[in-house]
Structure 1
Amino acid sequence: MNGIHTQAPERTCGPSSTIGTHAMLVFGTGVDCYFSNLPKFSAPHNFQVILSIELDERGKRALGADRRTGYDGLHTFVPDAFAMSELDPRRERPRETLRGTLFRGHVHRGGEAVVGDVAAEIRQVVYFEELGQGARRAHERLTHLCFGRPGRLYLAHRICRRPSFDQVVAIRLIPGTVTDMLGEHDPDRTTDVDQLGFGAAQSIILGQREFTGQRLRAGEIAVAAFRSTEDGLGFLAELAVQRQIYLEVADLG
């Protein structure tokens, strides 16, 4: 497993204090399947964690069967009880596998168990942060997390302090909109947004929104400020929200 985190918690969480049945959103397909922990501000669920995973054949067949029958709702996964701290990529040997039950729908909102004893291999820790650790205001300006492979990118709302909300959307970066951080088009810049992908989540700031609310909506266009790339330079680019995958407000109020 290649574990990378983008925002280190301010203190190390003890394993015994983080044991629980940590329900997770399931989204993406094939080579870009993800788990996103369904967080609360109360322990032991006070973590925002995104994992790139690969389901075993039982899990893949169950998801595939649902989609072939026209189900387009969400899926959740409930692992057997474990310590969330075992996913911390700073550990010498982070956890590499989760085993549990796949649900059709939200497990806490009447979801239906589809198949049990499903194994998920953790390919990469995309993001790991313990909530409620007094995040600095400079970090709170980083409003979203961008991750995924070229042509299939996602945004997750970065959760800092209550009240907040958990949202995951599918996006695309719009070709021809890349500028430097001052908004100037650079003819020498070779960044092609169609080829950009992020294994580890990139913390970004969204600006110039077309509405005044906080939550993203399908069809909305926004400007994203990316702090760094392979050439070490930040850039601005427009992105389009394609669809909402998940939204939860009540658990983070």
Structure 2
Amino acid sequence: MDMHHGHQTHPDGDATLGSHGMLLLGGEPLYMSHLPMFMAPHNFQVILQVGADDAVSSVLRSHQHVVPEEPYDTFVPEVFPMSELDPRGAGLRRTSMTGKIFCGHFEREGGQHPPLAEHTVVAVQSVVYFSQLDVQAEHRDDTELAYVCFGRGGQLHLAHNITAAPDFDQVLTVRAVPGTATNPLGERLPDAEATLEKFFEERFVVAEPVNIGGRSDSPDHRVVPPATVDGSFFATAPPSGFHGFAVQLEVEREVYMETGDLAKPKRPQ
């Protein structure tokens, strides 16, 4: 199967037109994370908050997972230009997508089973993260492991910050550990559980960068459950007057992990 790699010519010449497969995660709210590659038109790391009708939401919550080696669901939209999701773009802004939902990866074992839902319309409620990947960039061994954090309240996610080939796509579910938040001086922040949850509820509607100290940016050094790690939110302003803060993050689940699609692209012979 080659659905993820599909590429068609758009009438207006938009080179980002393609079949842009997405990982589904969360529940309320529901998110989609584009499955990227270091080749056009798939060279985009994009995370969306989306809405689905009650019937689709019920299927996602209650279906029996038939692909244990692919413990997630994916969405295959009809072809569209990724540029329509760019929040900084000046053109048409996409507000919905129509497609199929699969149990597992639609290009792999999951694609051998009937779709969970067809002709499914999802509303694009917000663009949580949007980054175009440089297909010419090469990975540096001295890069520090970094993620972007998004979510609401007690349901937080980390997505590995994809930058240069070879790289890896990873999505985690995490929770901030109450009582561990500190300002850049190392002083404890007043973060009783309710206060911390309210802060994360309000702050991570849009993804924020977070570095994981002491780890290089490689699949072998990625964060995996049941680890608890120190996260540095260097660009995020907490309710303390300081710029940036640190907090321990307890990793609950690795939702998705992929290296093959983000290997170095093959050069023409």
Which TM-score tier does this pair reach, normalised by the shorter chain? 0.7 to 0.9
In structure 2, what is the Cα distance between the partners aligned to 1:106 and 1:79?
14
Q: Is the 8 A contact 1:181 1:225 kept in 2?
A: no
Which residue of structure 2 lines up, in the alignment, with residue 204 of structure 1? 210
Which residue of structure 1 lines up, in the alignment, with residue 4 of structure 2? none
Which residue, out of 166, 177, 184, partners 1:181? 184
Q: Is the 8 A contact 2:100 2:116 kept in 1?
A: yes
Paired residue total: 233
In structure 1, what is the Cα distance between the partners aligned to 2:86 and 2:145?
21
1:54-93 counterparts in 2 under 5 A?
54-66=51-63, 69=64, 73-92=71-90, 93=92
Q: How far off is 1:188 after superposition?
A: 10
In structure 1, what is the Cα distance between the partners aligned to 2:76 and 2:190?
49
Which residue, out of 259, 262, 265, partners 1:249? 259
Q: How far off is 1:108 after superposition?
A: 1.2
In structure 2, what is the Cα distance between the partners aligned to 1:125 and 1:144?
17
In structure 2, what is the Cα distance between the partners aligned to 1:74 and 1:95?
25
Which residue of structure 2 lines up, in the alignment, with residue 109 of structure 1? 108
Which residue of structure 2 lines up, in the alignment, with residue 3 of structure 1? none
| Shift >6 Å, 4+ stretches | 187-191
Q: Is the alpha carbon distance of 1:220 and 1:88 closer, same or farther for their aligned partners in structure 2, counting shifts above 3 Å?
A: same
1:27-38 counterparts in 2 under 5 A?
27-29=25-27, 31-38=28-35
In structure 2, what is the Cα distance between the partners aligned to 1:61 and 1:192?
31
In structure 1, what is the Cα distance between the partners aligned to 2:190 and 2:60?
45
In structure 2, what is the Cα distance between the partners aligned to 1:221 and 1:190?
17
Q: CA RMSD in A?
A: 2.8
Q: How far off is 1:166 after superposition?
A: 0.3
- Structure 2 counterpart SS, 1:85: helix
Q: Is the alpha carbon distance of 1:15 and 1:114 closer, same or farther for their aligned partners in structure 2, counting shifts above 3 Å?
A: farther
Instruction: Structure 2: give runs of 5+ residues left out of the alignment.
Output: 1-11, 264-269
Which residue of structure 2 lines up, in the alignment, with residue 4 of structure 1? none
In structure 2, what is the Cα distance between the partners aligned to 1:192 and 1:141?
30
- Partner amino acid for 1:203? P
Q: Is the 8 A contact 2:178 2:192 kept in 1?
A: no
Q: Does 1:40 align with 2:37?
A: yes
- Partner amino acid for 1:86? E
- Partner amino acid for 1:156? A
In structure 1, what is the Cα distance between the partners aligned to 2:238 and 2:99?
37
Which residue of structure 1 lines up, in the alignment, with residue 233 of structure 2? 226
Higher mean alpha-carbon deviation, 14-23 vs 125-134, is at 14-23
Q: Does 1:23 align with 2:26?
A: no
- Partner amino acid for 1:248? E
Q: Is the 8 A contact 2:175 2:251 kept in 1?
A: yes
TM-score (norm 2): 0.78
In structure 2, what is the Cα distance between the partners aligned to 1:32 and 1:188?
24
In structure 1, what is the Cα distance between the partners aligned to 2:80 and 2:154?
34
TM-score (norm 1): 0.83
- Structure 2 counterpart SS, 1:17: coil
- Partner amino acid for 2:133? L
CA deviation map 1:144-194 (0-9, x unaligned):
000000000000000000111000010011111111113233569999433
In structure 2, what is the Cα distance between the partners aligned to 1:84 and 1:188?
39
- Structure 2 counterpart SS, 1:199: coil
Q: Is the 8 A contact 1:59 1:102 kept in 2?
A: no
CA deviation map 1:34-74 (0-9, x unaligned):
100000001110000000001124422321341xx466721
Q: Does 1:96 align with 2:95?
A: yes
Q: Is the 8 A contact 1:53 1:123 kept in 2?
A: yes
Which residue of structure 2 lines up, in the alignment, with residue 146 of structure 1? 149
Q: Is the 8 A contact 1:48 1:127 kept in 2?
A: yes
Q: Is the 8 A contact 2:75 2:102 kept in 1?
A: yes
Q: How far off is 1:115 after superposition?
A: 1.6
Q: Alignment identity in percent?
A: 38
